[in-house]
Amino acid sequence: MAYRRTDHVSARLADTRRRILNAARELVAEGGFSAAQMTEVARKAAVATGTLYRYFPSKEELCRQVFREVSAREMNLLVGIAQGEGSARERLDKALRTFATRAVRGRRLAYALLAEPVDVGLAEERGRFRRTHGEIFAGILEEGIASGEIAPLDVKIAAACIAGAIPTALIGPLAPQSHELEENADRVVDEIVHFCLAAVGAGQPHNKNNDLRRMTA
């Protein structure tokens, strides 16, 4: 007869896996992915190192799962904003501000996700993370163009630019050795939001008549 796990055993295995992931995430939040050494994760999760390797055969696989879970949580927040109430401009403003503000508040973890030098596997996760950001922004931009709040533009390119501009702007302020956010966190967020809105012509409500005048001038 084939072995079948009982509900109790399955729950215990799931709990151990969750403790391992929570421990790894806490270490990344404290010192970046470089701090999530397998022996340290095992110690923090209160499991044997051999047990840890049965759940995650390598540090890369463990860190990729941490990256996926943290980024999925952030993406879900932005998707909720994108699909929520308000004009396209208001939702774009809120999505940008939420992204930047959460990065500033979770500074060390955000730096790990956005800018820390990583191996190829994590770089792939980071690329997917950024592309998904772009897709969220693109959806809002399309609605803004349809409503006349945003001037016509290449939505795919504009969204990719926004998704790339935010991490790039935050690299310096989020860096562990930087002190910029200690006194200027609000200003950093405001400047990022202002720049991105202005870049897509959403700094102020868009008037379609302006496009006609420009084309016939």
| Range 1-57 classified under CATH 3.30.1120.10 | no
Q: Report the predicted TM-score, pTM, of the whole model to 2 decimal places.
A: 0.83
The predicted-structure confidence for 58-92, as pLDDT tens digits, reads as follows 999 999 999 999 999 999 999 999 999 999 999 99
The rounded distance, in Å, linking the Cα atoms of 24 and 11 is 20
Mean pLDDT of 191-210: 76
107-166 per-position pLDDT tens digit: 999 999 999 999 998 999 999 999 999 999 999 999 999 999 999 999 999 999 999 999
CATH no., domain 59-216: 1.10.357.10
